[in-house]
């Protein structure tokens, strides 16, 4: 391993690997010494690191829900083909081989709480009617037979809109609430309980078990109402607030 | 030029890890990284969604045999080829302006972290403007997170070539980022 030469491809490779931390230790010492003695190499390394940092900062970008749903649709086989056998010829280093394979099978990934929570980032598609005075639930708005709570008078969260989505054969209803410029989304997912992220915290309040976990800047809480999964989430909304909203029974009008 | 990806095992002489069938049930594990790669290749969030969908549809057309640990690299290769196919097809079609999304009636300023989203759009648009070989190296290593060796296999070039292309892609990207934010651009290769 020699000293890096300016403007050589070897120098470029050294700098690229030094910038992202993949340069082997022995080589790294040599290159770092060279960089320390050269303003030009320092500048080039700064550029490398700036680009690396910029790209890595966006590695948390997730595929949107619409794409997740489309992928599921693609990944679902149209019909079970049983044990039908296909022949697939492959030319490779080992020579021509014929593989006997079971037909493309398998199912689809299950809908999760995290998937349902991504609906919070989608727009509402309809407005929400105001309830009569002192009524703790929103009128004419139910999912799986369950009403959505009216939180404005008690907590200051005004229901601003609603959207409906069909996901994996389930009719998801999401109501959006707003307070002081912050927005939260409350989704009811009919059917069997959705899996929650491993490591989610468990909180029991007012006899109701709430699971909570962060997803990037969004805080997600989930619990069950009559066996159906409810998901409430918001950005920059404290856990206590979300939990208090989640377990509010509305004087018995919000069934659990 | 796009490379053939249908025969997943071809072109890897000397690699002796056992082959196995690509499991369709695990394709979703790579969705986020493929989406980011697609976005960086296309420069458009909407095109990226379509590209990923087309890629999965293509992969699922028939069983695929891969060596251990090659799933992501293989998917990236199919994604890249699908991207080029779409570009060629688009070049043959008359262009039309996209229609507005009528469902987007209400903005969601808190949920989507709009500043971050904007930055992502800007960043991936800059990456999409890089010359093809540079962009592909940067997408494979920095966006998708493949090792240099995996990237070399996925792109069917030597590891040293990937590294050099990656270096040059980063230099150009760093300059573009400097231009975007009106800061002085330094020297570069």
Scan residues 61-80 of B and list those with Cβ closer than 8 Å to A: 62-63, 65
Specify whether the CB–CB gap between B36 and B51 falls below 8 A: no
Instruction: Please check whether residue A185 touches B, CB under 8 A.
Output: yes
Shortest Cα–Cα distance, A111 to chain B (Å): 12
Cβ within 8 Å of B, A 193-222: 216-218
pLDDT at A96: 21
Out of B49, B167, B175, name the one closest to residue A13 (CB).
Answer: B167
A139 and A179 housed in the same domain: yes
Of B10, B143, B163, the CB nearest to A13: B163
> CB of A41 within 8 A of CB of A77?
no
Q: What is the pLDDT along chain A (256 residues), one digit of tens a residue?
A: 445 455 589 999 999 999 999 999 989 999 999 999 999 999 999 999 999 999 998 887 888 766 776 665 555 443 333 333 222 222 222 222 221 112 222 233 478 888 888 888 888 888 888 888 778 999 989 999 999 999 998 999 999 999 988 877 788 999 999 998 899 999 999 999 998 888 888 888 888 999 998 887 789 999 999 999 999 999 889 999 999 999 999 988 899 9
Q: Quick check: B27 contacting A, CB < 8 Å?
A: yes
Is A65 part of any domain?
no
Q: Is A96 on the interface with B (CB under 8 A)?
A: no
Q: Which residue in the set A40, A54, A183 is minimally distant from B108, CB to CB?
A: A183
The verdict on A51 and A128 lying in the same domain is no
> Lowest-confidence range among A73-82, A242-251, B69-78, B171-180?
A73-82
Contact A43 B13 (CB under 8 A): no
Same domain, A30 and A87: no
Question: Residue B9 and residue A44: Cβ atoms within 8 Å?
Answer: no
- Element (DSSP H or E) covering residue A25: helix A25-36
> What's the rounded Cα separation, in Å, for the pair B22 and B78?
13
A218 and B111: CB-CB below 8 Å? Answer: yes
Domain at B19-93+115-180, CATH from 1.20.140.160, 3.40.50.150, 3.30.428.10, 3.50.50.60:
1.20.140.160
In a domain, A67, yes or no: no
What torsion, rounded to 10 degrees, do the Cα atoms A57, B70, A115, B54 define?
100
Same domain as A246, residue A166? yes
Beta-carbon separation of A51 and B27 below 8 A: no
Q: Both A48 and A135 in a single domain?
A: no
Q: How many CB atoms lie within 10 A of CB B53?
A: 18
Tell me the residue range of the domain where A35 lies. 9-56
Domain shared by A238 and A222, yes or no: yes
In a domain, A1, yes or no: no
Q: What is the pLDDT of residues B132-150, one digit of tens each?
A: 999 999 999 999 999 999 9
Q: How far is the alpha carbon of B14 from chain A, nearest alpha carbon, in Å?
A: 7
Residue A110 contacts B, CB cutoff 8 Å: no
Mean pLDDT of B39-67: 85
Average pLDDT over residues B68-97: 78
Please check whether residues A166 and A121 belong to one and the same domain: yes
Exposed (0-12), middle (13-18) or buried (19+): which is B176, by Cβ within 10 Å?
Answer: buried
On whether both A27 and A101 belong to a single domain, the answer is no
- Tell me, yes or no, whether A68 lies in a domain: no
User: What per-residue confidence (pLDDT) applies to A208?
Assistant: 92
A247 and A161 both lie in a single domain: yes
pTM > 0.80: yes or no: no
Residue A244, in any domain of the structure: yes
With residues binned 3-state (H G I as helix, E B as strand, rest as coil), the percentages for chain B, rounded to 5, are 60, 5, 35
Helix axes A39-56, A9-20, angle to 10 degrees: 50
pLDDT at position B64, please? Answer: 80
Count chain A–chain B contacts defined by CB atoms under 8 A: 193
For residue B3, what pLDDT band results from cuts at 50, 70 and 90? very low
- What integer pLDDT is reported at residue A210 of this predicted model? 93
Shortest CA distance from B21: residue in chain A? A101
Q: Where are the domains of chain B?
A: 19-93+115-180
CA B120 to chain centre: 14
Contacts with B143 from chain A: Cβ below 8 Å: 55, 59
Q: Is residue A243 part of a domain?
A: yes
Asked if A121 and A240 sit in the same domain, the reply is yes
Q: Between helices A25-36 and A9-20, what is the axis angle to 10°?
A: 110
A196 belongs to a structural domain: yes
Same domain, A156 and A236: yes
According to the model, what pLDDT value does residue A164 have? Answer: 87
- Residue for token digits 């409906």? A164
Residues A91 and A206 in one domain: no
pLDDT band for position B168 (cuts 50, 70, 90): very high
User: How far is CA B154 from each of CA A22, B16, B42, B107, B150, rounded to the nearest angstrom?
Assistant: 19, 16, 18, 39, 6
| CATH at residue A202 | 3.30.200.100
Task: Domain count for chain A, please give it.
Answer: 3
- Final residue of a structural domain among A107, A125, A147: A107
Residue A63 maps to a domain: no
Beta strands in chain A (DSSP E): 85-90, 97-102, 137-143, 146-149, 158-167, 170-179, 182-189, 201-205, 208-215, 218-225, 228-235
């Amino acid at each position: 391993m020699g000293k890096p030469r300016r403007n050589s491809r070897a120098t470029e490779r050294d700098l690229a690997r030094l910038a992202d931390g993949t340069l082997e230790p022995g080589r790294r010492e040599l290159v770092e010494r060279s960089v320390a003695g050269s303003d030009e190499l320092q500048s080039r390394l700064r550029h490398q690191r700036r680009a690396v940092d910029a790209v890595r900062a966006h590695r948390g970008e997730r595929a949107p829900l619409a794409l997740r749903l489309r992928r599921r649709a693609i990944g679902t086989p149209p019909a079970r083909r049983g044990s039908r056998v296909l022949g697939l010829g492959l030319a490779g280093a080992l020579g021509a081989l014929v593989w006997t394979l079971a037909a493309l099978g398998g199912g689809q990934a299950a809908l999760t709480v995290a998937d349902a929570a991504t609906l919070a980032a989608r727009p509402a598609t309809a407005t929400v009617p105001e309830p009569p005075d002192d009524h703790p639930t929103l009128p004419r708005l139910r999912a799986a037979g369950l009403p959505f709570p009216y939180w404005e008078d008690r907590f200051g969260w005004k229901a601003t809109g609603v959207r409906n989505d069909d996901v994996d054969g389930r009719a998801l209803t999401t109501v959006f609430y707003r307070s002081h410029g912050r927005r939260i989304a409350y989704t009811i997912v009919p059917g069997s309980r959705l899996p929650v992220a491993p490591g989610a915290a468990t909180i029991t309040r007012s006899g109701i078990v709430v699971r909570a976990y962060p997803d990037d800047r969004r805080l997600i809480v989930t619990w069950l109402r009559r066996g159906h999964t409810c998901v409430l989430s918001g950005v920059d909304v404290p856990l206590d607030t979300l939990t208090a909203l989640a377990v509010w029974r509305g004087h018995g009008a919000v069934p659990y | 030029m796009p490379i053939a990806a249908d025969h997943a095992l071809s072109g890897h002489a000397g690699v002796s890890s056992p082959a196995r069938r690509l499991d369709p049930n695990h394709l979703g594990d790579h969705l986020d990284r493929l989406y980011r790669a697609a976005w960086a290749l296309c420069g458009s969030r909407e095109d990226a969604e379509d590209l990923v969908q087309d890629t999965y549809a293509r992969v699922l057309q028939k069983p695929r045999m891969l060596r251990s640990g090659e799933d992501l690299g293989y998917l990236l290769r199919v994604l890249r080829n699908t991207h080029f196919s779409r570009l060629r097809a688009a070049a043959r079609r008359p262009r039309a302006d996209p229609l507005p999304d009528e469902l987007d009636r209400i903005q969601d300023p808190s949920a989507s972290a709009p500043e971050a989203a904007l930055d992502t759009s800007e960043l991936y648009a800059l990456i999409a403007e890089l010359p093809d070989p540079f962009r592909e190296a940067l997408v494979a290593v920095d966006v998708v997170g493949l090792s240099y060796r995996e990237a070399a296999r996925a792109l069917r070039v030597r590891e040293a070539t990937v590294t050099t292309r990656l270096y040059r892609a980063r230099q150009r990207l760093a300059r573009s980022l400097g231009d975007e934010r009106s800061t002085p651009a330094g020297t570069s290769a």
